[in-house]
């Protein structure tokens, strides 16, 4: 029996409340004429309504895409601005949903965090067939975390690496993107209906991601397409997400 401990981490939509000093500097470099100085910006960011309006400014999105070289911003700020912009264009308007997905990207940029790790389990689960099999032996709490992870990883992998899925499907007979759409929808739905979704305040987020999974996935595909269009020779999505030297393991059926 898999019995997770109470210390198991649940991904939360926290990107909008975690600003680094370099994020403040970047916002000022883009919006300084509208906002003023750093002291004024910090006051505005402490107010939820003002903060959200600032982060929705299209100029920040374009600056993140168009500036060359190493961007001095936190990964959470970076992912939130990108995800929020493409989700708005796809009519996924809930900021909490964009915030949650941005946090998933920030977490899964770390190779170890992309693995399904349950306390008390000797080996992490790297593949979907392992996670699905583990559900048969999981208790109620472990089952919730596994389903949430399957939803997260389905969206991450199909959203960020669609070309990899396509090549594997064409050359090796692996599942195509529709498989991940169905898998993500089903497990976000099951997780949204679980009592712990209310406790962690993610029930509505999971419900939206289930209902709009393909829309959210296509929006992330748009981010990947935009990043790959950048002309820098050494710029790749793996470099963006791969803070370690290893790209995330490829989930298998």
Widest Cα–Cα separation across the chain: 59
Do 231 and 113 lie in a common domain?
A: yes
Q: Is residue 3 part of a domain?
A: no
Residue % of the chain over a pLDDT of 90: 52
* The pLDDT value given to residue 188: 98
Contacting residues for 108 by C-beta, under 8 A, at least 6 apart? 114, 152, 153, 156, 241, 248
Task: Tokens for 67, please give them.
Answer: 């500036």
**Which ranges of the chain would DSSP assign to H, the alpha helix?**
21-35, 38-45, 48-55, 58-66, 75-89, 95-108, 128-134, 140-160, 162-172, 177-192, 195-199, 203-211, 213-228, 237-241
Do 249 and 127 lie in a common domain?
A: yes
188-205 average pLDDT score: 97
Tell me the range of 17-21, 36-40, 64-68, 70-74 where mean pLDDT is highest: 17-21
Residue 231 confidence (pLDDT) above 70: no
Q: Is residue 66 part of a domain?
A: yes
Do 144 and 244 lie in a common domain?
A: yes
Do 169 and 89 lie in a common domain?
A: no
pTM, entire model: 0.85
Q: Is residue 5 part of a domain?
A: no
Do 39 and 61 lie in a common domain?
A: yes
Do 36 and 158 lie in a common domain?
A: no
* The pLDDT value given to residue 121: 64
* The pLDDT value given to residue 68: 66
Do 120 and 87 lie in a common domain?
A: no
Do 127 and 231 lie in a common domain?
A: yes
Do 67 and 123 lie in a common domain?
A: no
57-74 average pLDDT score: 86
* The pLDDT value given to residue 2: 42
Do 44 and 136 lie in a common domain?
A: no
* The pLDDT value given to residue 123: 67
> Nearest Cα to 187, choosing from 219, 165, 154, 214?
154
Q: Is residue 53 part of a domain?
A: yes
Do 129 and 211 lie in a common domain?
A: yes
Q: Give the total number of structural domains in the chain.
A: 2
Q: Is residue 238 part of a domain?
A: yes
129 is in which domain, residue-wise?
109-253
* The pLDDT value given to residue 250: 56
């Amino acid at each position: 029996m898999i019995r997770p401990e109470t210390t198991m981490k649940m991904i939360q939509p926290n990107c909008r409340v975690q600003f680094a000093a370099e994020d403040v500097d970047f916002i000022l470099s883009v919006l300084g004429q509208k906002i003023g100085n750093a002291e004024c910006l910090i006051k505005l960011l402490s107010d939820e309504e003002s903060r959200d309006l600032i982060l929705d400014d299209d100029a920040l999105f374009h600056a993140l895409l168009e500036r060359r070289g190493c961007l001095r911003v936190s990964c959470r700020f970076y992912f939130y601005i990108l995800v929020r912009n493409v989700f708005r264009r796809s009519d996924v308007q809930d900021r909490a949903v964009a915030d949650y997905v941005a946090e998933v990207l920030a977490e899964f940029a770390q190779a170890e965090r992309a693995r399904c790790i349950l306390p008390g389990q000797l080996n992490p689960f790297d593949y979907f067939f392992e996670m699905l099999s583990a559900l048969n032996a999981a208790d109620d709490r472990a089952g919730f975390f596994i389903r949430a992870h399957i939803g997260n990883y389905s969206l991450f992998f199909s959203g960020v690496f669609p070309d990899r899925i396509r090549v594997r499907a064409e050359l090796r007979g692996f599942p195509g993107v529709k498989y991940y759409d169905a898998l993500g929808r089903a497990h976000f739905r099951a997780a949204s209906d679980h009592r712990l979704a209310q406790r962690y305040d993610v029930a509505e987020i999971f419900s939206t991601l289930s209902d709009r999974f393909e829309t959210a996935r296509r929006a992330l595909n748009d981010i990947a397409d935009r990043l790959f269009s950048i002309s820098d020779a050494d710029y790749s999505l793996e470099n963006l997400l791969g803070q370690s030297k290893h790209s995330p393991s490829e989930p298998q059926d």
